[in-house]
Amino acid sequence: METDPYFWTQDNGAGGPVHFATTYKQIDMLHHILRNCPQAVNQRDVRGFTPLHRAAYLAQYDGYKELYEYLLSEGADPATVTEDYDPYLNPGRKTPIEVAIKDGPTRDALRFLEEKYANVPKKPKPHADIGDWWALYDYGPETVYGWPSDHEPDYPERRRNAKDVAEKREWKRKRKAARDAAIAAEIAARDESAQKPGDALPIGALTVSEKEDAATTPATTPAPAADAASSAVAFLFPGQGSQKVGMLASAAAELPSVRSMCDKASEILGYDLLDVCVNGPKEKLDDTAFAQPALFVAGLAAVEKLRAESPETVASCSRVAGLSLGEYTALVFAGAMSFEDGLRVVRCRAEAMKAAAAQGDHGMLSVVGLADDVLETCVADARRAVAAKRASSRDSTEGFSKDVVCAVANYLFPTGRVVSGDADALDEVARLATEAGAMKTAKLAVAGAFHTERMASARDALREALADAKITEPKIAVYSNVTGTFFKDAASIPDALAAQLVSPVRWEDTLRALVAEGKDEMYELGPMKQIKAMARRVSAEVAAKFKNVDVA
């Protein structure tokens, strides 16, 4: 045990031996591990869970509070936070107590134990490779255990990777230079030949700025090839919650089309969108007014990235859909709106939603693990309970009226729903859903009751913006969030987009329809992997082939 590297190897899914021992209450095994490798008490798995997080997560069951106490006595650090492993349904990095069940007594007991052992010296954060077999084998356990957490070993594969990255960067630089030279030569040749009006160069041969002069926009798609409709390729665009500080940095640096897109966006928006995406701060990027335009552009930037890497994939796309805000990105890609009109509409939508969200105290709550009829009962019971409480309160005239808004707003994947509404009603839904056996309830990091009647004022503002936009027939079939089926024609698009703000999003229906059509080569275009996690719960076969084009 002291010398065998295999014993200490961390499995990519289950964590290291210390995580296994904690999860399965193997106290003797845990004791032996910490005697031989004390640093393992703060070892993190792929989600950032330490043994303390594992014990806290199961603390409502017999024996796990005792494990929590034992780990604290061994120097476990309760201030360690996880990764942001579920940014849409359960966002944020969490301490051990924050992953524990929200039942009051359990968390109170854990806080008591943390106070009890507050003076125990905390073991330092271990190096990430204390569970890596090759590191343990090549350098020996004692050496690896002694590495500080920020140590960067000179691994041979790391040197090879650095060389490969440098070579690829140089190849991209040369390719860009050759492409720019070719474009410049074609433009010069066109100007010199003074060709007739009908002989303009194809759109694909022009720079982005020239494309705009030719009445088209970046990231829209040309008319599909004759056999595209039979293709299994579908493009999916994520919604608000996928934004991440740093996104677009590499895409804008490497792709002139993305840089031009960002410049055009900044001109329309009146601020430097790329700077907000790359440098944040996070609080600013997470603001609805900034997050929605940023994600709209990021989705189209991902199209340009994929187009540069695999133009045939972009040309073969046969279906498009977007989650909430992503629906606008999908419509622009499909050619139903120009980039400029789409961004202006998205800006109006974001600002109007932010303004509507400021009128009162409301938000959104994810609920996982309940059948729809059970969740609907919880929602209805919560509305009645809060309405009765407001009716008896002399403060009921403050903020909203006595009418309670609370409804299921997002049908994301099987038993994965988001309830939207007034804050007091959501608190009641969380309590009732937990009692009914929900696996998880969590408030989302949004400030409004999106997709409910609380967004009525935003809907009215959006209608005006849509009236000023030119909307044409999509070149590719686009799924509507409101119906879970195709937009039937261009005339139906404005009403459906306006309705989306106050209606549930039928995303699970969209994913199931795509699978039923045989569109099993799905691409998520945008930062993070919001949609892949949902697709996995609808079809394991589709998830196995699912691809992400990330610009984070």
Q: How far apart are CA 483 and CA 510, in angstroms?
A: 9
User: Which pLDDT belongs to residue 394?
Assistant: 56
Helix (H), strand (E) at residue 416: strand 416-422
User: Which pLDDT belongs to residue 210?
Assistant: 38
Q: Is residue 442 helix, strand or coil?
A: strand
Q: Are residues 281 and 337 in the same domain?
A: yes
Q: Is residue 290 helix, strand or coil?
A: helix
Q: Are residues 494 and 391 in the same domain?
A: no
Region of residue 527 (left: phi > 0; alpha: psi -120 to 50; beta: else): beta
The pLDDT tens digits of the residues spanning 336-392 come to 999 999 999 999 999 999 999 999 899 999 999 999 999 999 999 999 999 999 888
How many angstroms from the chain centroid is the CA of residue 475?
A: 27
The pLDDT tens digits of the residues spanning 423-448 come to 999 999 999 999 999 988 998 878 79
Q: Is residue 274 helix, strand or coil?
A: helix
In order of 206, 256, 483, the CA distances from 263 in angstroms are: 17, 10, 35
Taken in order 507, 508, 510, 511, is the CA torsion positive or negative? positive
Q: How far apart are CA 364 and CA 454, in angstroms?
A: 12
Closest CA to 368 of 449, 325, 430, 448: 430
**Number of neighbours of residue 436 by Cβ within 10 angstroms:** 16
Q: Are residues 329 and 256 in the same domain?
A: yes
- Which residue type is seen at 133? W
Residue finishing a domain among 419, 446, 473: 446
Q: How far apart are CA 21 and CA 491, in angstroms?
A: 60
Residue 292 placed within a domain: yes
Closest CA to 313 of 541, 550, 547: 547
Residue 211 placed within a domain: no
Q: Are residues 336 and 246 in the same domain?
A: yes
Residue 394 placed within a domain: yes
Residue 209: burial class (beta carbons within 10 Å; 0-12, 13-18, 19+): middle
Closest CA to 285 of 249, 320, 261: 249
Q: Are residues 21 and 135 in the same domain?
A: yes
Q: ∠ CA 283-284-286 to the nearest 5 degrees?
A: 65
Q: Are residues 336 and 396 in the same domain?
A: no
Q: How far apart are CA 110 and CA 101, in angstroms?
A: 11
Give phi and psi for 308, each to the nearest 5. -70, -35
Q: How far apart are CA 185 and CA 395, in angstroms?
A: 72
Q: Give catalytic residue positions.
A: 324, 451
Q: Which residues pair with 522 in a beta bridge?
A: 234
Give the list of residues 6+ apart from residue 7 with CB closer than 8 angstroms, or none: 1, 17
Q: Are residues 245 and 259 in the same domain?
A: yes
Which CATH number covers residue 399? Answer: 3.30.70.250
User: Which pLDDT belongs to residue 181?
Assistant: 75
Give the list of residues 6+ apart from residue 351 with CB closer than 8 angstroms, or none: 289, 461
Give the list of residues 6+ apart from residue 350 with CB closer than 8 angstroms, or none: 288, 289, 290, 291, 292, 293
How many angstroms from the chain centroid is the CA of residue 488?
A: 29
Residue 189 placed within a domain: yes
Q: Are residues 141 and 259 in the same domain?
A: no
Q: Is residue 23 helix, strand or coil?
A: helix
User: Which pLDDT belongs to residue 226?
Assistant: 46
Residue finishing a domain among 446, 472, 495: 446
Q: How far apart are CA 334 and CA 291, in angstroms?
A: 22
Q: Are residues 396 and 526 in the same domain?
A: no
Retrieve residue 122's tokens. 């905390």
Q: What domain count does the chain have? A: 4
Which CATH number covers residue 299? Answer: 3.40.366.10
Which CATH number covers residue 25? Answer: 1.25.40.20
Q: Are residues 119 and 66 in the same domain?
A: yes
Residue 156 placed within a domain: no
| Cβ atoms 443, 365 nearer than 8 A | yes
- Which residue type is seen at 474? P
pTM: 0.67
Taken in order 375, 378, 384, 387, is the CA torsion positive or negative? negative
User: Which pLDDT belongs to residue 245?
Assistant: 94
Q: Are residues 266 and 138 in the same domain?
A: no
Residue 207 placed within a domain: no
**Number of neighbours of residue 128 by Cβ within 10 angstroms:** 15
Cα Rg of the chain (Å, integer): 26
Residue finishing a domain among 413, 446, 479: 446
User: Which pLDDT belongs to residue 197?
Assistant: 42
**Number of neighbours of residue 440 by Cβ within 10 angstroms:** 16
How many angstroms from the chain centroid is the CA of residue 484?
A: 21
Residue 138: burial class (beta carbons within 10 Å; 0-12, 13-18, 19+): middle
Residue 344 placed within a domain: yes
| Low-confidence residues of the chain: pLDDT under 50 | 194-217, 223, 225-226, 396-401
Q: Is residue 148 helix, strand or coil?
A: coil
Taken in order 329, 335, 336, 338, is the CA torsion positive or negative? positive
- Going by their DSSP bridges, the two strands 233-237 and 362-368 should be labelled as unpaired
Q: Are residues 242 and 100 in the same domain?
A: no
Residue 37 placed within a domain: yes
| Cβ atoms 40, 34 nearer than 8 A | yes
Range of the domain at 372: 362-446
Residue 541: burial class (beta carbons within 10 Å; 0-12, 13-18, 19+): exposed
Q: How far apart are CA 491 and CA 301, in angstroms?
A: 27
